[in-house]
A = this chain, B = another copy of it.
Amino acid sequence: MTDKITVFFSSDGRAAEVSRNTSLLEAAALAGVELKSTCGGAGTCGRCQVRVLEGPVLHKETGLPVPAGPVLACQALAAGNVVVEVPRDSREAGHQILLGGKDVLAEQDGRMQGYAMQPLCRKIRLTLDPPTLQGNISDWSRLQAALREETGCETIHVSLPVLRGLAACLRDGNWQVTATVVAAAGCADIVRLEPGHRVAPALGLAVDIGTTTIVVYLVDLESGLTLGRKGTYNRQARYGDDVITRIIYATEQETGLSELQEAVVSAVNELAAGLLSENNCHSRDVHLVVAAGNTTMTHLFLGLSPKYIRLEPYIPLASAPPPVRAAELGLAISPHAPVLCFPAVASYVGGDIVAGVLLTGMAGEDEVTLFIDIGTNGEMVLGNRDWLVSVACSAGPAFEGGGITFGMRAMQGAIERVEIDPETYEVAAETIGGGRPLGICGSGLIDCLSKLRAAGIIDRSGQLQADLATPRLRRGEDGPEFVLAWQAEAGGGKDIVLTGNDIKNLLRAKAAVYAGIRCLLKALEIEEVQIGRVLVAGGFGNHLNIRDAVAIGLLPDLPAERFSFIGNAAVKGARLGLLSREAYATGQSLAGKITYLELSAGHDFMDEFMAALFLPHTDRTLFPSI
């Protein structure tokens, strides 16, 4: 009797062959079926529900048989061949990924933000003098001399496989040769040699390694054109939604770190393969990768242990990791391609933020800019050419739909806008994609909160009012709740509600972000009005209604024209680093110029947080326009 069994996911037509007593969650991962899981398989988040249609399944804790029907995939072990159905609610697929977003900055400042197009990697076409009895220096010396002149670099590196091909290459091309060179810091690295001048393109990847999503741009390094953009869900999510859960998994499981590394690398490989195939390009022509991610994601991407990021005094293994080779990570591109990661400021202000600050150009301007990236963490950088200060605050997963009864990410079916009639309390909801609502995403939640307050359904402290004449306001299992969409209208067969607890979670999230901004301003002794512009990046940046965000006290009360949404600033900053070595060098030095303010090290943050737990704020003078 073999111990291998098959778990078939009927709705996907996919199967995994696994060892007996593998959990259905693991089987789904192996089959490429993406299930939600916030708790990392601990059985507590309840998101990975599946339906067992056929076959023997045992409960993980009790070992008792589980009858056909709904079960948490992480708690159910396949004891034989099993057929499983995955309900839409439990799926991660269909996630709307912010590939780039509105290019407000790009439109203003041009595609290169003022940097010259001079990529770290370029094709250099050389015509060499053929050797003679008098001019009889070696092939390698001849090539080095020409490249020194062309690049200005004194040191020319070459890998042994490339060097081995040199003699034949020069003669095949009749002394015309094209060198693909990565040049940085006075040192040029030849990553490829081709005979002649009509050669393959030089391609690069700009990568945003987000906690939730991974986005890749395929860029032609000679023309500067972005050939394509693709995004996918970060498969690490199966080990937990937030970075802390993943750090624990990487640290405490024997193969945890390599599993997490493999998860992100395979996602990048798939995106790259898709982009290459759509553009009829070859993976061997990809010679450079510039990646931006938060500190933990960058560690996991490189296979560096993130263990001490989580433990006081919160030390990353490497905040500015050295370049590595694609093959060392398992990236399926030219094996010698350097992979460069944007440096981090601190454990909780990562390379994604540095790439974003690079993109904004704020470090070169007189005007004071506030850059905000809101996701599970809220990271903010305030400053100008003279100073830059950053903070990070744990907003919690509420804005990404976590900890909210009907919260979901910004994907098909998510409510993103609501109107509430202040007389009748009737609700008109708009969903992403226009279909029936399945839940509420971050921008929808902010809108909701603003509109509930405007309609008087909640008070300044976020309490649902008990005595309103509407069936939408009712008592649910967990206390008072407000019905946003009735079962009949909804796509999930249930009333979609916002509970009192949901509202508390939202208030905490918005209060954390605003308290972070206040701490920044107070530390620098400047006022809100001195902020010349507010640039909002991140997952819901494009969909956020500024008036709502100001109305609930998430963003400071400034004139609308000072706000811009810059979308996925990390990947766009990475693209800039890919195309301009000067921009990349600026990014490298930026990390050292941004001062990090540790909020947990002082009492100010807690005071500010408490004060911000109201709508819009305890101190109404901070929000004069509301």
A-to-B contact residues, CB < 8 Å: 131-133, 135-141, 155-158, 160, 163-164, 166-168, 171, 185, 302-305, 307-308, 312-322, 324-325, 328-329, 344, 346-347, 598, 601
Between A and B, 12 residue pairs with Cβ closer than 8 Å are A133-B312, A136-B346, A138-B317, A138-B319, A138-B344, A140-B316, A140-B318, A141-B320, A160-B324, A163-B318, A163-B321, A167-B304
Question: How far is B545's CA from A116's CA once the two chains are assembled, in angstroms?
Answer: 70
Contacts of A329 in B (CB 8 A): 160
Question: How far is B131's CA from A315's CA once the two chains are assembled, in angstroms?
Answer: 7
Contacts of A156 in B (CB 8 A): 322
| Contact between B305 and A160, CB atoms less than 8 A apart | no
| Contact between B160 and A307, CB atoms less than 8 A apart | no
CB distance from A431 to the nearest CB of B (A): 43
| Contact between A139 and B601, CB atoms less than 8 A apart | no
Contacts of A133 in B (CB 8 A): 312-314, 598, 601
Nearest 9 A/B pairs, CB to CB: A140-B318, A138-B319, A138-B316, A133-B313, A167-B317, A160-B328, A160-B324, A131-B315, A136-B313
Contacts of A304 in B (CB 8 A): 163-164, 167
Contacts of A313 in B (CB 8 A): 131-133, 135-136
CB distance from A344 to the nearest CB of B (A): 8
| Contact between B185 and A315, CB atoms less than 8 A apart | no
| Contact between B160 and A317, CB atoms less than 8 A apart | no
| Contact between B320 and A185, CB atoms less than 8 A apart | no
CB distance from A350 to the nearest CB of B (A): 12
Contacts of A601 in B (CB 8 A): 133
Question: How far is B329's CA from A135's CA once the two chains are assembled, in angstroms?
Answer: 30
| Contact between A166 and B317, CB atoms less than 8 A apart | yes
CB distance from A50 to the nearest CB of B (A): 36
A303 and B138 in contact (CB under 8 A), knowing A131-B313, A313-B133? no
| Contact between A303 and B131, CB atoms less than 8 A apart | no
| Contact between A322 and B163, CB atoms less than 8 A apart | yes
CB distance from A298 to the nearest CB of B (A): 11
CB distance from A112 to the nearest CB of B (A): 27
CB distance from A214 to the nearest CB of B (A): 20
Contacts of A135 in B (CB 8 A): 313
The chain B residue sitting closest to A140, CB to CB, is B318
| Contact between A320 and B138, CB atoms less than 8 A apart | yes
| Contact between B302 and A139, CB atoms less than 8 A apart | no
| Contact between A320 and B167, CB atoms less than 8 A apart | no
Question: How far is B321's CA from A156's CA once the two chains are assembled, in angstroms?
Answer: 11
A139 and B317 in contact (CB under 8 A), knowing A133-B601, A163-B304, A305-B167? yes
Contacts of A141 in B (CB 8 A): 318-320
> A160-B325, A163-B302 are known contacts; what are 12 more A-B pairs with Cβ within 8 Å?
A133-B313, A136-B315, A136-B346, A136-B347, A138-B316, A138-B317, A138-B320, A141-B318, A141-B319, A163-B321, A164-B305, A168-B305
Question: How far is B344's CA from A320's CA once the two chains are assembled, in angstroms?
Answer: 39
Question: How far is B315's CA from A316's CA once the two chains are assembled, in angstroms?
Answer: 50
Contacts of A139 in B (CB 8 A): 308, 315-318
Contacts of A155 in B (CB 8 A): 185
| Contact between B160 and A319, CB atoms less than 8 A apart | no
CB distance from A159 to the nearest CB of B (A): 8
The chain B residue sitting closest to A143, CB to CB, is B318
The chain B residue sitting closest to A596, CB to CB, is B136
Question: How far is B313's CA from A310's CA once the two chains are assembled, in angstroms?
Answer: 64
Question: How far is B346's CA from A329's CA once the two chains are assembled, in angstroms?
Answer: 40
Question: How far is B114's CA from A492's CA once the two chains are assembled, in angstroms?
Answer: 85
| Contact between B164 and A319, CB atoms less than 8 A apart | no
| Contact between B598 and A303, CB atoms less than 8 A apart | no
| Contact between A317 and B131, CB atoms less than 8 A apart | no
CB distance from A191 to the nearest CB of B (A): 14
| Contact between A317 and B163, CB atoms less than 8 A apart | yes
Question: How far is B601's CA from A132's CA once the two chains are assembled, in angstroms?
Answer: 12
| Contact between A138 and B318, CB atoms less than 8 A apart | yes
| Contact between A167 and B307, CB atoms less than 8 A apart | yes
Contacts of A319 in B (CB 8 A): 137-138, 140-141
| Contact between B305 and A140, CB atoms less than 8 A apart | no
| Contact between B321 and A140, CB atoms less than 8 A apart | yes
Question: How far is B185's CA from A185's CA once the two chains are assembled, in angstroms?
Answer: 13
CB distance from A289 to the nearest CB of B (A): 14
Most buried by B among A136, A141, A302, A321: A136
Contacts of A164 in B (CB 8 A): 303-305
The chain B residue sitting closest to A317, CB to CB, is B167
Q: Which of B158, B185, B315 makes the CB contact (< 8 A) with A138?
A: B315
CB distance from A144 to the nearest CB of B (A): 9
CB distance from A536 to the nearest CB of B (A): 28
| Contact between B136 and A314, CB atoms less than 8 A apart | yes
Question: How far is B167's CA from A319's CA once the two chains are assembled, in angstroms?
Answer: 12
Question: How far is B171's CA from A308's CA once the two chains are assembled, in angstroms?
Answer: 10
CB distance from A157 to the nearest CB of B (A): 6
